[in-house]
Amino acid sequence: MNSLSEFNEFRRPQLFEKLSEESQQRILECSVLRDFERNRLLVQQGDTPRFVYLVLNGSIRTFRISEEGEEATIRMLEPGDTCMEAVMFMGGPSPINVQTIKNTKALMIPERIIKILVLEDAQFAFNLLKIVTRHYKNAMHQIDAMNIKTPLKRIGYYFLLKHLEHGNDKLDFKLPFEKQMVANYLGMTPETFSRSLKQMRAMGITVDDDTIKMKDAYSLCHFCDADTASLCPAHNTENCHLCTRH
């Protein structure tokens, strides 16, 4: 692969943000573009990390698996996202599995160029830092979600994030993944997920197959918290119901 043209379709990968043309070229020269069928296991727990995967289309999930075979989803990637960058710097074998959940085209960036470039290009290191800290922040939300929130609230918070991503002017959005996948990501069974969705109808949120519709733009405000509010354009305006309630 020798150009970034493929990336124009979606948001520019954070990995390349503000990166010099030279560094971009060095990465692309070493990297390989590949197609994977659905459900293909790309990395297993215990493998030594060899590549960073940049999703071009399709989707990928990362997860851990216990000896009893139960799975805990860590992340679900959409086009433009990367995985395994963090694992590279952990030292030791990979603590996670990586698997496609749709047919997926991904750019494989070798471990070596990542490690080299990090020590030579401060901007690249900075980008990696921002990416990894974003993952970490996400992980913290997952942790307190499972600790203190009811299934209903976990789903509500997840929907709120998706709603903000899709632009807060739209009153509906689609789930980017299968329900059982989302359920596992949120740490509950598909049954509990399904039952909780029914409860949400009482709050003005209806679910039609994989489409989530809200009665008004503030239906999800109940699930907002302080450090999520800063992502909301209506935050600190009179429109923010949450703020007026506080």
- Interface residues with a copy of itself (CB under 8 A) are 45-46, 64, 66-68, 70-72, 74, 86-96, 118-123, 125-126, 128-130, 132-137, 139-144, 146-149, 187, 225-227, 230-231
Residue number with CB closer to a copy of itself (152 or 207):
152
Q: Which of 210, 216, 225, 227 binds DNA (CB under 7 A)?
A: 210
Nearer to a copy of itself, 148 or 202 (CB): 148
Q: Which pair of tokens denotes residue 210?
A: 């994989």
Order the strands of the 71-77 sheet from edge to edge.
41-43, 97-100, 60-65, 71-77
Q: Which stretch binds DNA (CB under 7 A): 9-17, 50-58, 186-194, 227-235?
A: 186-194
Provide the minimum distance between the beta carbon of 245 and a copy of itself in the complex, in angstroms, as a whole number.
10
Residues 38-97 that bind DNA (CB under 7 A): none
Name the burial class of residue 32, with classes exposed (0-12), middle (13-18) and buried (19+) by CB atoms within 10 angstroms of its CB: exposed
**Residue 165 touches which of a copy of itself, DNA, none (CB < 5 to 8 A by kind)?**
none
Which of 115, 195, 201, 215 touches DNA by CB under 7 A? 195
**Nearest distance from C-beta of residue 150 to DNA, angstroms:** 4
* 138 scored as a contact of DNA (CB under 7 A): no
How far from each other are the two terminal CA atoms of the chain, in whole angstroms? 52
Q: Which does 123 bind (CB under 5 to 8 A by kind): DNA, a copy of itself, none?
A: a copy of itself
| Chain centre to alpha carbon of residue 243 | 27
- Helix boundaries (H) for the chain: 21-30, 85-88, 111-120, 122-148, 151-165, 179-185, 190-201, 226-229, 241-245
Residue 224, burial from CB neighbour count under 10 angstroms (0-12, 13-18, 19+)? buried
Residue 187 binding DNA, by CB under 7 A: yes
**With binding defined as CB under 7 A, does residue 115 bind DNA?**
no
Q: What is residue 12's DSSP assignment?
A: P
Return the structure tokens found at 180.
């059982």
Binding site for DNA (CB under 7 A): 150-151, 178-181, 187-195, 197-198, 207, 210
